Amino acid sequence: MPKEFEGGKEVEANWAKFEKIGDGVKGTMISHKIVPSTNPTFADQEVYIIRKADGSTVNVGISTKKAGTIGRLNSVKPGEIVGILFESETPPTTKGFAPAKNLKVMTYVVDPSYSSDAFDLI
């Protein structure tokens, strides 16, 4: 490692991972945007930025092929508290592919500490 980088602390990626049933994210919906895929094998993603209770933000990427999940998440307004839970799996329709992850979307109240002005740059 070059000397000028010694002593630094690596910043970890802030992407939500739904690896096992029961994994989830809960926090305040900040914003969302479509991110085009750089690989033609994969669909574009809708990326939702959520501020967790500890103040950190997490990106939740959902394939644009998951119209139901995208539709539910797009109904959540900025400032609203949302929960996304990996609820179950559906067997793959194509042999050799991974099972589909079924995500449950839940809304709660509007976060009283939310201010859109604080997130204009996101």
pLDDT of 12 reads: 80
pLDDT of 119 reads: 56
Pair 76, 60: CB distance under 8 Å: no
Query: What's the rounded Cα separation, in Å, for the pair 38 and 105?
Result: 27
Neighbouring CB atoms inside 10 A of 82's CB total: 22
Block means of pLDDT (10 residues each) for the chain, 122 residues, are: 83 89 95 92 93 93 93 94 95 86 94 73 44
pLDDT of 117 reads: 66
pTM for the whole thing?
A: 0.83
Query: What's the rounded Cα separation, in Å, for the pair 83 and 77?
Result: 13
Pair 19, 45: CB distance under 8 Å: no
Neighbouring CB atoms inside 10 A of 114's CB total: 18
Identify the structural domains of the chain with CATH numbers, from first to last.
Answer: 14-112 (2.40.50)
pLDDT of 121 reads: 45
